[in-house]
Structure 1
């Protein structure tokens, strides 16, 4: 019964990344990223900015995830993994909204799993069979590492990278939805007082 509910809740846009051969150097670099054992933490120059971000994102996510501890743990992991991969955390939030609707147990028809809808073949290429793609941190680490790889492949072209991520390269619907969610739901700038303090920091 529970599994059926989980499967039925998987969103229509869940990803189907294409399995492609990776060069040894690329596979090695991605594997090193996946194997990082550091616990997630907020990564901000100013801790006050981090707390402001967490409070605002937590408020926006409250309807989806009512438990505040679970919500803040998820947001902390998203911010940490996104920054590690050189991604905008708000972009990653938009992608998760579209891919899984923040359901960590989502499964697509193609077999993609978890928050960022990672295809299981990635564990063979850059991880280990023991990696659980339904684990929150593991899934985010894979998803952010994979999106970073696609951005590098596409030389920073976000729309093409998102198309690769979803297995819909060349079609605009999925990139448009992710960018739309990013800009309309998750866009964020620090409060004015924090921006002013940041502007006055020594360069």
Structure 2
């Protein structure tokens, strides 16, 4: 995959101001809509106790240290990271990439709302609730927001046959432009890289 370079100063400015675009509404075939609805509702996350393997516990501790300044509350930060890991892995995504996306989208602000109306950590557009959710889907709820966001990005990855650059463009509503994919990649590589655990790991 070829990633296009982008000036660092502009990248940092865009990160600070947040991503301005958002997912675009596209009619879905009934079969796709049903599959996405199932992905959203199926297999509720467990209580997420402390990670059982030393490797996963090391991941949690390392990411917690990196995130501490942005999320000072220890309990909330741990719950957030465990849920990110679970939902990303469940959708076949790299948890570190998802952390990079959240950094760009919301700056780790739970109640972030964009000018287009996108909500929460992963800046999910409300139309997704009508398309694949239910009446009680609250996009400001941690697990709901991450499940929607990861499921939507997985959907875009499938459409783009695994091309993450193009999938990220779809997620941001800027398909074909390099700015947003490079922002996510930059945040991922600079702040959240972790080679030992990948999306292939079990949740």
Normalised TM-score (structure 1): 0.84
Q: Relative to structure 1, is the Cα distance of residues 159 and 113 closer, same or farther in structure 2, using a 3 angstrom cutoff? A: same
* Residue 39 in structure 1 maps to residue 46 in structure 2: yes
Q: Is 1:123 the equivalent of 2:113?
A: no
Shift of 1:170: 1.1
Q: Which runs of 5+ in 2 are unaligned?
A: 1-15, 198-203
**1:138 pairs with one of 141, 144, 148:** 144
Helix, strand or coil for the counterpart of 1:80?
A: helix
Deviation of residue 40 (structure 1)?
Answer: 5.5
2:74 corresponds, among 64, 68, 79, to 68
Report deviation, 1:43.
Answer: 10
Instruction: State the match for 2:191 in structure 1.
Output: 185
Which of structures 1 and 2 has the bigger CA Rg?
1
Give the CA deviation at 1:15: 4.2
Tell me by how many angstroms 1:137 deviates: 0.4
Match of 1:168 in 2: 174
Match of 1:88 among 94, 101, 110: 94
User: Residues 46-86 of structure 1, C-alpha deviation per residue, up to 9 Å, x if partnerless?
Assistant: 61111100000000000000011000000000000000000
Q: How many pairs were matched up?
A: 181
Contact 1:43 1:80 in 2 (8 A): no
1:155–1:166 distance in 2 versus 1, CA, 3 Å: same
4+ residue segments displaced more than 4 Å: none
Hey, what's the Cα distance between the residues in 1 that align with 2:100 and 2:49? 18
Distance in structure 2 (CA, Å) of the matches to 1:126 and 1:39: 22
User: What do you get for the CA RMSD once the two structures are aligned?
Assistant: 1.9
SS at match of 2:130: helix
Gaps of 5+ in 1: 1-9, 192-203
